[in-house]
Amino acid sequence: MEKQPIQLPVYAKMAQVILGLVALFYVLYIGKDIIVPLILALLLAILLNPVVNFLDNHKINRTLSILLAILAAFILMALLLFFVGSQLARFSDSVPQFKQKFIELNQQLLQWVSETFNFPPNTINEWVAKTKKEVMSQGTSVMGQTLGTLSGMLGVFLLLPVYIFLFLYYKILLLSFIAQLFQNVPSKTVTEILAQIKSLIQNYLVGLLTEAAIVATLNSAGLLIIGVQYAVVLGIIGAMLNLIPYIGGLIATALPMLIAITTQDATAALWVLVLFLVVQFLDNNLIVPKIVGSKVKVNALISIIVVLVGGALWGVSGMFLSIPLIAILKVIFDRIEPLQPFGYLIGDDQPTVMKSLRQRKTKK
């Protein structure tokens, strides 16, 4: 006598799914110091894989090919960081000037608030002093957290080349493991999914780098025309922040506006706002659709949700990694029949009402 499978009620299935998601997010959160460097290294390894294959095809030892590719990538990264760091060092020399100007603007703002809303100046000054005292009292803990973050970033920076090397060196082993893991799935399907994921990651990362270079050029040129100090470094920082979807663009706009209003006047800050709005418009409507958007098709609602979730789990790194990770999930969902509705939900193919109705009638 065959045993009948146990049929759980809907609420029991939902409870299992919710508990599973809670456990998954908890593991992702507590293991972020291990998981984030591994994911970053995997993405960079996929990006560098064509370079390694190119060197392999020219009869260079594979180990040496991997080392040369990693060395070239980190030299380019070090040159960029050196340039930005040297500009920031020059920027630090002007901090006293910015501080004095900011104090003057702060006094003018307090005076305007007092005159406009009939607040007694003493009340405003007491509130400002109280706020300043609270911030100073938390300064030690903030400094400790900052040092901890910097040390963590240094550790990641040192581990990345090791992880990248191992991913590239054991590429065949890892691909064979995935093929054995999904023996019940046709090998052709597994191969197609892996090839699609590899192509998506490579094209997406190359597209992001191209987009960042174009945005940095537009930002720097515009800030130079306006006459904002440290235009080049602000343009590069703005382009790097722009890689964080939605949220990064706001910070990238606020920073040069603050510099403009403290070194020049409100008119310059307004021109900076106009500049970044124009660059954002060009980026969203021309650059991203042509360079990046065609590679990763995720609708805006899901993008915002996963960026916020990524930020809550892994901080800034999670915001950056959220879009490529959800795009990888979409590739997998689209190729597995029971999960295809989730892939459809993630995508940006907006159906018309009439089309949906026709599909329902056809099914009936």
Q: Which pLDDT tens digit goes with each residue over 116-174?
A: 766 666 665 666 566 655 544 544 444 444 444 445 555 567 788 889 999 999 988 98
Cα separation, 79 vs 73, in Å, equals 10
Gap between the Cα atoms of 240 and 234, Å rounded? 10
Nearest to 322 by CA among 337, 303, 295: 303
pLDDT per position as a tens digit, 176-199: 888 888 777 777 777 888 888 888
Q: How far apart are CA 203 and CA 206, in angstroms?
A: 5
Q: How far apart are CA 257 and CA 229, in angstroms?
A: 11
Model pLDDT, residue 248: 72
Note the pLDDT of residue 221. Answer: 92
Residue carrying structure tokens 């305007």: 112
Burial zone of 46 (CB within 10 Å; 0-12 exposed, 13-18 middle, 19+ buried): buried
Most confident of 39-43, 112-116, 145-149: 39-43
Q: Are 55 and 68 in contact (CB under 8 A)?
A: yes
Lowest mean pLDDT across 1-10, 36-45, 69-78: 1-10
Task: Please check whether residue 237 is in contact with residue 252, taking contact to mean a CB–CB distance below 8 angstroms.
Answer: yes
Q: Does 299 or 128 have the greater pLDDT score? A: 299
Q: Is the pLDDT of residue 1 over 50?
A: no
Choose among 294, 293, 295: nearest CA to 328. Answer: 295
Task: Encode pLDDT of 276-293 as tens digits.
Answer: 889 888 887 777 666 665
Is the predicted pLDDT of residue 356 greater than 60, yes or no?
Answer: no
Is the per-residue pLDDT at 15 higher than 60? yes
Candidate from 99-113, 140-154, 209-223 with smallest mean pLDDT = 140-154
Q: pTM here? A: 0.70
Mean pLDDT of 212-223: 90
Q: Are 318 and 172 spatial neighbours (Cβ–Cβ below 8 Å)?
A: no
pLDDT at 265 over 80: no
pLDDT of residue 68: 93
Q: According to the model, what pLDDT value does residue 142 have?
A: 41
Residue with token string 């003057």: 104
pLDDT at 331: 82
pLDDT value at position 143? 44
Q: Is the pLDDT of residue 260 over 90?
A: no
What is d(CA 265, CA 255) in angstroms, rounded to the nearest whole number?
15
- Of 215 and 95, more confident: 215
CA distance 236 to 86: 13
Q: 3-class SS at 308?
A: helix
- Cα–Cα distance for residue pair 302/324, rounded to 1 Å: 12
3-state secondary structure of 114: helix
Structure confidence at residue 269 (pLDDT): 84
Has residue 255 got a pLDDT over 90?
no
| pLDDT surpasses 90 at 242 | no
